[in-house]
A and B are shown apart, each in its own frame.
Chain A
Amino acid sequence: AQKVTQAQTEISVVEKEDVTLDCVYETRDTTYYLFWYKQPPSGELVFLIRRNSFDEQNEISGRYSWNFQKSTSSFNFTITASQVVDSAVYFCALSGGSSNTGKLIFGQGTTLQVKP
């Protein structure tokens, strides 16, 4: 069975602090994809990143960075120098399987509050 766990329910930081959102996943598939989505207070879901299981390179995009480690089944997300606009719910998600239907298994989400 596939499972995604985001153990941090809520995180509160002060602006300019760095913050890491944890994501641990379980899957028996050898080929799978991991995602992060952002849900701002307006409610829509915004795609942030996709990572393939065979590509363990870390990725940096501006203030965002992602650390993918297959050895620990983790795909953590770090925001450097956080800003108030980063306040949102962040979801980690997993997709995989031989049929590749693209079904997403979501974690419970982490609510990030960035205070000015």
Chain B
Amino acid sequence: NAGVTQTPKFRVLKTGQSMTLLCAQDMNHEYMYWYRQDPGMGLRLIHYSVGEGTTAKGEVPDGYNVSRLKKQNFLLGLESAAPSQTSVYFCASSYGFRAFLGKGAHEAFFGQGTRLTVV
């Protein structure tokens, strides 16, 4: 199993450009998440999804959009990139609420990260 795969791994954008980050998981997880990691601030949640066709805002959603058209994929879009969006982006997935009594409850599996630089 590949686990959680993020595409691309690196990207440089000019201010104002748009792009989409793709996250794919092969563990049949219900929940998926997008986090960003900035120095000294840990990881912060951007958006998340608790199932196919549903999305919700996290702690820092401004400037981002997401879509979950298929259960295994979670896309993060930047419509007009800004230098403040320079960061490392991590996708994660986990089992849903019905599994919380089980061994793997809420253990999140993370992708390798995408390093995005906006100049």
B49-77 interface code vs A (CB 8 A; 1 in, 0 out): 01000001010000000000000000000
Interchain CB contact (< 8 A) of B42 among A35, A100, A101, A108 = A108
CB-based contact B88/A43 at 8 Å: yes
Contacts of B95 in A (CB 8 A): 102
CB-based contact B58/A103 at 8 Å: yes
CB-based contact B106/A45 at 8 Å: no
Number of interface residues of A (CB under 8 A): 24
CB-based contact A50/B106 at 8 Å: yes
Interchain CB contact (< 8 A) of A33 among B58, B105, B109 = B105
CA distance A37 to B35 in the complex (A): 14
Number of interface residues of B (CB under 8 A): 29
A91 at the interface (CB under 8 A from B): yes
Interchain CB contact (< 8 A) of A104 among B41, B43, B56, B97 = B43
CB-based contact A106/B42 at 8 Å: yes
CB-based contact B31/A101 at 8 Å: yes
CA distance A109 to B40 in the complex (A): 7
Contacts of B92 in A (CB 8 A): 45, 104
Interface on A for B, CB 8 Å cutoff? 4, 6, 9, 33, 35, 37, 43-45, 47, 50, 91, 93, 95, 99-104, 106-109
